[in-house]
Amino acid sequence: GAGVSQTPSNKVTEKGKYVELRCDPISGHTALYWYRQSLGQGPEFLIYFQGTGAADDSGLPNDRFFAVRPEGSVSTLKIQRTERGDSAVYLCASSLGDGRDTQYFGPGTRLTVL
């Protein structure tokens, strides 16, 4: 079947604006992860969903970041009052069960805050 998809692929916004990034996981995968990757660095964990609930949101940098997964499938990462430092590639990954399963990554959304 289809892999993990993310939209948009690129997002350019101005400082202070609100953005939403969407992730469609592989069908049937209960676990969903959001990561942020800056140039030359490894993926930085943001939040992990198991079903509809956020099992671990310890990686969210501050309260401007919020994510939801209301029906246990699609997830949206929401960033309020964007700052230039938020510019990065936001990666979504899903896995069948929990952290012991293979994570399948989406292509990412490149966010640029001007």
Partner 1 sequence: GQQVMQIPQYQHVQEGEDFTTYCNSSTTLSNIQWYKQRPGGHPVFLIQLVKSGEVKKQKRLTFQFGEAKKNSSLHITATQTTDVGTYFCAGLDNYGQNFVFGPGTRLSVLP
59 contacts 47 by C-beta, under 8 angstroms: yes
Q: Which two tokens stand for residue 57?
A: 């949101």
Please state the closest distance from residue 114 (CB atom) to partner 1, in A. 22
Query: For partner 1, which is the closer residue by CB, 20 or 56?
Result: 56
Query: For partner 1, which is the closer residue by CB, 50 or 76?
Result: 50
24 contacts 6 by C-beta, under 8 angstroms: yes
Query: For partner 1, which is the closer residue by CB, 66 or 104?
Result: 104
- SS3 (DSSP) at 86: helix
Q: Does 103 bind partner 1 (CB under 8 A)?
A: yes
Tell me the residue type at 110.
Answer: R
Q: Which two tokens stand for residue 66?
A: 């919020």
Instruction: Annotate each residue in 15-54 with x if it binds partner 1 (CB under 8 A) or - if it does not, as one string.
Output: ------------------x-x----xxxxxx--x-x----
Q: Out of 59, 64, 66, 96, which residue is the one contacting partner 1 (CB under 8 A)?
A: 59
Tell me the residue type at 4.
Answer: V
Cα angle 25, 63, 21 (rounded to 5 degrees) comes to 30
Q: Out of 58, 62, 70, 71, which residue is the one contacting partner 1 (CB under 8 A)?
A: 58
